[in-house]
Structure 1
Amino acid sequence: MNPRKLLRIARWEVQKNAGGLDRRTVAITVAVIVLFGAVSPLIASGGAGLEEDIYRVSVDEDSQYYGVAADDPKFRIVDGGEQALRDGEIELLIDGSAIRIADTRKGSAAFSEFRDSIQAYNNEQLAMESNQTAAFPIQVTVEFREQSAPGRDNGSSTGGETTDGSDGTDGGTTDGSDGSDGDGTDSGTGDGTDGGTSGGTDGGDGTSDGSAVGSATPPLGDDEISGSPADINPPFPFQSLVLAFVFVIPLNFLIQAYGSTMLSERLNRRGELLLVSPVSRLDIIGGKTLPYFAGAIAVEGVIAAALYYIAQGGFGGAISLFAITPIVLLFLSATFLGAMFARSFKELTFITVTITVVLTSYAFVPAIFTDSGPVALISPLTLVVRELQGEALSLSAVAFSTLPPFLTAGLFFGLGSGLYREEDLFDQRSITGKVLDALAVPISRPYHVGIMTIVLIPFVFVSQLLAIALVFPIARGSPEIGQVLILIVVAVVEEFAKSLHIYAAHSHNTFERTRRVAVVLGIASGIGFFLGEKIALLGQLVGLSELDLARQALQGGNVPEGPVVVLFLFAPLALHVVTATISSVGALGKRRRYLAAVAAAIVVHLVYNLTVVNVVA
């Protein structure tokens, strides 16, 4: 690759596209930028009030509940009586100390929300008391911590850990109460704790008359005033997630332009002049990609700096920019490969929409679980979210989040560059035919099959990580279903990754169509996959193997201890060799025979995985 030639091609690309911009396109671009600038501060400041005036309540101004309804934006105070309640014009009717509820689902929801509002209102009134010791006898400090990876000391979670002789239990609770009840729950840490407050005391009966502190006493099944620990919920980074999503939106527009310019080189042989010029295909690909990559990084850099300033009130965002870089490359590389497959702009549109959906899911869905454990680190956007929250990031977390998409982007560019030659660039084969061409081009010797299998490992790894993120919510509700789903996905992805390039090589008559050759290719692919799957060891750096779901999906990266390590070395090797050989033999025939062989290999793989999971369990 010649930098001077690459930059010259990049300059041509910029000049060509800049000259093709009309006023309408410029106006739309400016409007989108202005929209981003207007929406980002709104999101950072709390966003629009989506829950304002949801429920209607009729209450007199002299009622003790008037302040509750007036302070909570979810409730709108209106005039009405029993007839209005029956007609559905109001959800709640408050008459003295009695609360009447509309006989609707919305009425029940309003009642539940009003009860929570009463508790919050009482706590606010207590917080304004001059004697805070009397208002809140027990002070609880809660620190939310991420699960530690193996080899690191697990710190205390909520309020420290109790020592021997403490009245508390593991987890930081003691016999002292928060003043809301007398069973001693929801309390602070007791004598001898390490991280909470000391001197936990009995809360007595824990009851309190709301009128004594000027607050409402809810007639809703209990007479207690909830202390602040009842309002503690694990943090959910909704605003930071929405802000992080702003990083992905420009990429969806970028790949439309990039895919179009790459496909235009293939239509009517427009790219033939560059192919016959004294430049390499890497110079051409790099030169045509560089302006889009540089433009994306510039836009993302501005977004990163602006959002960091909004969220933290200072200058920063370097980690966010680094984290979004593999996402940019992943979008560009997948679009480049798709442009090499497509025969028309109609097919390219279908491909880019698919890329948008899949890669947006990969980037965004895992970040939803930012505070639920290491599964969130599957997505580089988690690094963005955590930087916006002001959290520290370890080197292992950064490597785990960014290395797989970096490698996958390199794989996509490599496969696409193999098709960037005259005999393939202007060929109008179907998408499936182009996929086989891309896989078959690098293979000319049997050992190339094993190398190609290793090269495909990053794609397999990213696919499995995405599957873990998507199945994770299901697994939390039903572990058995989640386990079966993830094992099926693992078996399907791995078996196609081990055999599809073998089928492509046979379809191009690269090797003799004999069973002996098929067995040799299967063994080479199985060994290559066994060696390459050790990239899954990255999962242990961030504690991903602590999750049952991830441990089942990334079995090749889970190193056991003791004599079992021998089985760890040889059992997966035997599995990959056997299943790859089954598929390789099937690849000697037509498509139906190959798919039947792959299905058989998937069944064998699935039975093996289920057996291993059950034995380990």
Structure 2
Amino acid sequence: MEWDKLLRVARWEVTKNAGGLDRRTVAVMALSLIAMGGVAAIAVGGGGAGLDDGLYRVGADDASPFYDVAAADGTFVVRDPDPAAVERGEQELLFRGTRLVSVPRTPKERAALDEFRSSTERYNDRTLARDDNQTAAFPVSVTLVYREQAGADVLDPREDGGAAGSDSDSDDGASGGGTGDGGGSDGGASAGGSGGSLGEAGGGGASLSGLGARLTGEVQGGTPSDISPPFPFESLVLAFLYIVPMNFVIQAYGSSMLSERLNRRGELLLVTPASRADIIAGKTLPYLLGAVGVATAITATLRFGGLAPGGSPIAVLAVVPLALLFLAATFCGAMFARSFKELTFVTVTITVSLTSYAFVPAIFTDITPIALISPLTLVVMDLTGQAISPSAFAFSTLPPLVTALVLFGLGAGLYREEDMFTQRPIPLKVLDALSGRIRSRRSAAKMSVVLLPFVVVAELVAIAFLFVLDSVSLNVFGTNQTLGVLLILGVVAVVEEVAKSLHVYAGYDAARYERTVRSALGLGALSGLGFFLAEKGLLIARLSDLESLSIGQAALQGATPPAGVPLWAVALLFLLAPLVLHTVTAALSAVGATRGRTGYLAGLGAAVVVHFAYNLTVVTSLV
């Protein structure tokens, strides 16, 4: 790769596409970004108009103490009290002084009464928050500190030496402390929800300064009415801020790459002295810099705008692998698509898939091994001022980074005249991308190693998606297993068998191998051997605590032998047995691939069944 040629291609890409976006497109993009920022600000700050404004009508006169409650809450509209209006369904609630005159009969009236109770509690909190004597107004102050759980096991409340049932610890990992002057815990204030009083009573405010508490459940304090279970809503908003601009970038990038094919302008680059690597890297560099620049601007705004306690270059570095993964997937999609309509379908699929990969793990912010699957978790941790260890950074960023490099390599195999300007369906283009890397029989082992990053990312995403099912117990062969474990065993079997066999089928489809059983058995052995060596040499699973979770143990079974197992048993069960498994199942798929597509699917199905049976046996009998 020559930097002068790469930069020249990048400069040409920028100048060529400088006028590629018309004013309407730019205006739509600008409005979308403004709307995104506005929605994010409202969501984080908890303000703004709601969809339930004016939903309920309350009859109350000025003398009623509930008049001010209804007037202060936009959910309610205050009307003159009229019993006839209640009968006609024009008022849901009717008050005479402090007495509720109307009896709720319809679901809407009952819902109005429940909402009015919550609104009254928040109104009381706000009123007490303005009192000069805050100790008398709120005699009880509670602070919760949520301890990080290393696994799915419930923490022992006596773990730190405290007595069971004490006020200082609870079995959900939260420790609470309260201070007060005695008397009732209410102190004249009704216990309400967490909203409403946060901004005025010092519970949270409209900025992100309390993100450490509200995102990760690290610390939460205030009156009893302020305490609520942690939910990572703000972390999802932050992820939203970083992920949405990437969709604009990949749209422009995919359109540029496809235009090179449809307009045959790519021929001008192919005949230049620049190599394919120079061309692809040069065309990708401006969009990568654009995505990183947007991430840098967002981080700087949150940091220097006082909206987040943290925000360092680590947050930007964590976004780079994700941006590369978006661009690499879009590059392959542009190489596969035959039209802009087909590219739109591919781009939407990429956006939904990768956005899910980035968002779903962030939901489990209190379960670090799950959350760290997504690089955006590192961004949230850095913005909230939490320390990030090198192993955690590597665990989150290496899989998407290596997968992106592999995708660029596969797409580069199609960046040649005989593939760029042909109109073939997407499945056949995928096979062309794989077969383009096959040079000899030894390529079967090499391609299994190359495709291993896809396996890692797919299995990590499956763990994040199926983790919620890890609490559903089933009886399998006399042992208790969870639904999540059984599903992850199936996902592992399918993903690994496809990764070991698809390139072999692509080689047969491109007539790179001899269609004999002997040749298929040899290719299967090489593919299984390559996958086995790469899998055992992979240290990414050892950089995390996924094996502390039962579903992680199922997905990574065999990666780390249990303590106390003799050396000969380790060699037999954790080295020889997996090697035999991978070679046999890869051979089944390879033999089927010699018979064409139908035979390949049949062989792949048999390999998946054998692999699943092996995994289930290991989990139920050996682990």
**Could you say which TM-score interval applies, normalised by the shorter chain?**
0.7 to 0.9
Q: Is the 8 A contact 1:188 1:197 kept in 2?
A: no
Structure-2 residue corresponding to 1:598? 604
Deviation at 1:350, TM superposition (A): 1.5
Tell me: CA distance 1:78–1:366, structure 2 relative to 1, closer, same or farther (3 Å). farther
**d(CA) in 1 for partners of 2:54, 2:472:** 33
**d(CA) in 1 for partners of 2:80, 2:487:** 54
Identify the match of residue 592 of structure 2 among 586, 601, 611: 586
Tell me: CA distance 1:187–1:396, structure 2 relative to 1, closer, same or farther (3 Å). closer
* AA aligned opposite 2:8: R
**d(CA) in 2 for partners of 1:320, 1:144:** 24
Structure-2 residue corresponding to 1:89? 90
User: SS in structure 1 opposite 2:387?
Assistant: coil
Alignment of 1:40-439 (within 5 A): 41-50=41-50, 52-59=53-60, 62-63=63-64, 69=70, 73-95=74-96, 96-98=98-100, 100=102, 102-117=104-119, 140-148=142-150, 163=161, 166=163, 168-169=165-166, 172=169, 196=177, 228-229=223-224, 232-310=227-305, 312=307, 316-439=311-434
The farther-off stretch of 233-242 and 255-264 is 233-242
**d(CA) in 1 for partners of 2:101, 2:550:** 47
User: SS in structure 2 opposite 1:354?
Assistant: helix
* AA aligned opposite 2:504: I
**d(CA) in 1 for partners of 2:175, 2:409:** 58
Structure 1 gaps of 5+ residues are 175-185, 190-195, 219-226
Structure-1 residue corresponding to 2:506? 504
The CA RMSD measured in Å over matched residues stands at 3.7
Q: Is the 8 A contact 2:309 2:384 kept in 1?
A: no
Structure-2 residue corresponding to 1:467? 462
The farther-off stretch of 287-296 and 403-412 is 287-296
* AA aligned opposite 2:450: V
Structure-2 residue corresponding to 1:443? 438
User: SS in structure 2 opposite 1:420?
Assistant: coil
The farther-off stretch of 227-236 and 351-360 is 227-236
Tell me: CA distance 1:157–1:580, structure 2 relative to 1, closer, same or farther (3 Å). same
Q: Is the 8 A contact 1:240 1:388 kept in 2?
A: no
Q: Is the 8 A contact 1:140 1:188 kept in 2?
A: no
Deviation digits for residues 103-154 of structure 1 (CA, Å, limit 9, x no counterpart): 333333334444445555666677777887777776543112332479xxx9
Matched length? 580
Tell me: CA distance 1:26–1:188, structure 2 relative to 1, closer, same or farther (3 Å). closer
**d(CA) in 1 for partners of 2:28, 2:589:** 51
* AA aligned opposite 2:523: L
Task: State the TM-score, normalizing by the size of structure 1.
Answer: 0.83
User: SS in structure 2 opposite 1:143?
Assistant: strand
Deviation at 1:7, TM superposition (A): 0.8
Deviation at 1:13, TM superposition (A): 1.3
Structure-2 residue corresponding to 1:612? 618
Deviation digits for residues 321-348 of structure 1 (CA, Å, limit 9, x no counterpart): 1111111111111111111112222222
The farther-off stretch of 394-403 and 384-393 is 384-393
Structure-2 residue corresponding to 1:573? 579
The farther-off stretch of 559-568 and 505-514 is 559-568
**d(CA) in 1 for partners of 2:589, 2:505:** 9
Q: Is the 8 A contact 1:333 1:409 kept in 2?
A: yes
Tell me: CA distance 1:304–1:215, structure 2 relative to 1, closer, same or farther (3 Å). closer
The farther-off stretch of 306-315 and 453-462 is 306-315
User: SS in structure 2 opposite 1:266?
Assistant: helix
- Does residue 455 (structure 1) correspond to residue 457 (structure 2)? The answer is no
The sequence identity of aligned pairs, in percent, is: 54
Q: Is the 8 A contact 1:125 1:214 kept in 2?
A: no
Deviation digits for residues 351-403 of structure 1 (CA, Å, limit 9, x no counterpart): 11111111111112222222344312111111222233333322222211111
Deviation at 1:235, TM superposition (A): 2.3
Deviation at 1:543, TM superposition (A): 2.0
Task: State the TM-score, normalizing by the size of structure 2.
Answer: 0.82
Structure 2 gaps of 5+ residues are 193-221, 475-481
The farther-off stretch of 317-326 and 262-271 is 262-271
Q: Is the 8 A contact 1:304 1:317 kept in 2?
A: yes
Q: Is the 8 A contact 1:162 1:171 kept in 2?
A: no
**d(CA) in 1 for partners of 2:602, 2:58:** 64
Deviation digits for residues 222-258 of structure 1 (CA, Å, limit 9, x no counterpart): xxxxx94465223223234223212222221222221
